[in-house]
Amino acid sequence: MVNNVNGIELNYELCKAGINVDKAAAIIGKSRNSFYKKLGGETPFNASEIKALAQALSLSPERISVIFLS
């Protein structure tokens, strides 16, 4: 599991794609509250959640690294 999320960059990508928090939470199969905890770095994103968001946001490997592995 990854706990080094860059919430600002992830939020930027979500806004750019027109995806709100409720939709982002649905993409990873979590509640809105759980997604906010992940966005804030309180709880980690797991690999399948990162993959789902990366696909939904059409993130390049570089952006995935900046957002989730920095």
In order of start, what are the domains of the chain with their CATH numbers? 7-68 (1.10.260.40)
Residues 49-70 have pLDDT tens digits of 999 999 999 999 999 999 998 7
pTM attached to this predicted model: 0.91
Residue 31 gets the label, from left (phi > 0), alpha (psi -120 to 50) or beta, of beta
Q: Please, what sign has the CA dihedral across residues 57, 63, 64, 67? A: negative
Instruction: Say whether pLDDT at 1 is over 70.
Output: no
User: What pLDDT is recorded for position 24?
Assistant: 98
Where residue 14 falls among pLDDT bands split at 50, 70, 90? very high
Q: What is the pLDDT of residues 21-40, one digit of tens each?
A: 999 999 999 999 999 999 99
